[in-house]
Amino acid sequence: MTEKPICLIIGAGDYIGAAIARRFAKGGFHVVMGRRRGEMIAPLIAEIEAAGGSAQGFTWDARSEETATEMFAHVEAEIGPIEICIFNVGGNVRFPILDTTERVFRKVWEMCAYGAFLSGREAAKYMVERQKGSIFFTGATASVRGSSGYAAFASGKFALRGLAQSMARELGPENIHVAHLVIDAGVDTEFVRDRVRQAGKDPDNLPPDTLMNPDSIAEAYWTLHHQTRDGWTHELDIRPFAETW
C-alpha cells in the first residue's frame, strides 16, 4: 500500500499515456498503468522513478471484464484507493466502408466503447462508496464528427462520448467528476508521423505546433482533476491554435 493518491491509467501507451503518467507522478501521485503488453511499461517506470516519482504497471486487456474486475480489486486492496482513473485506449484505424470487416468494426468498438464501459463501471464501484474521485475518457475528433474512412473509429468514439455523458449525469451528484477530452488534432506520435509521410509530407517540416505535444494533453487532464466541483468541466476540446475546425 502507498500513502500517495493513486492515478490509474488504462491504455498507458508510449505517448499520451506516458505523458499523463509523468505529469501525475511529478504532481505527487503514485501512478498505476495498464496496457496489453505490460512489459513495455518498464522503461517508463524506470524514468519516473529516476525523476523521484513512483509507478508500477500491469498487463491489462481493457476489453476483458474478468481483467477489469480483478485488476481494479487488486489495485484497491493492495496498492491504494484510486483517486483518478483515466481511460486512454486508442483504436484509431482507417478503412473505407467496403473494406471494414465485421472483425475490424467489433474490435474497434471493444477498444473505444466496451473497454471504457468496463473501466468506468469498475472505477465508479469504488468511488461511489467514498463519494470522491475522477473518471476521465480520452476522445478524438471522431467523437463528434464521422469522417470518410473512419466509420468504425467514429462509431466507437461516439459511443464513448455517450457513455461519458450518461456517467457524468449519474455520478456527478455522487461527487465524482466524469470528463471527456476531445483531442481535435493530430498528436505528435510515430503513428501520426507515419500518416503524414504517407500523405507525402515531411513531419519534421510542418509549421510549428501543427502536431499536438502529448505533454499538453497531460496538462489538460491535470487541470481537469484539480477543478473545484462548483465549476467542473464535462467536455473539453483542445487543439493547436492554427487548427481549422
Please give the pLDDT value at position 163.
98
The C-alpha atoms of residue 198 and residue 194 are separated, in whole angstroms, by: 6
Banded model confidence at residue 159, pLDDT cuts 50, 70, 90? very high
Please give the pLDDT value at position 160.
98
- With beta carbons less than 8 A apart as the criterion, state whether 133 and 84 touch: yes
Which three three-digit cell numbers place residue 238?
Answer: 483542445
**Each residue's pLDDT tens digit, 212-225:** 899 999 999 999 99
What is the percentage of the chain residues whose pLDDT exceeds 90?
83
The upper half-sphere exposure of residue 194, i.e. CA atoms within 13 Å in the direction of its Cβ, equals 4
* pLDDT of residue 165 exceeding 90: yes
Please give the pLDDT value at position 192.
86
Please give the pLDDT value at position 191.
81
Cα Rg of the chain, angstroms: 17
Q: Which letter does DSSP use for residue 136 in this model?
A: E
- Count CB neighbours of 63 within 10 A: 16
Please give the pLDDT value at position 54.
97
**Each residue's pLDDT tens digit, 18-59:** 999 999 999 999 999 999 999 999 999 999 999 999 999 999
Please give the pLDDT value at position 193.
87
In order, the DSSP letters of 44-59 are HHHHHHHTT-EEEEEE
Amino acid identity, residue 109? W
What is the pLDDT of the chain when averaged over all its residues?
A: 95
**Each residue's pLDDT tens digit, 98-149:** 999 999 999 999 999 999 999 999 999 999 999 999 999 999 999 999 999 9
Please give the pLDDT value at position 142.
95
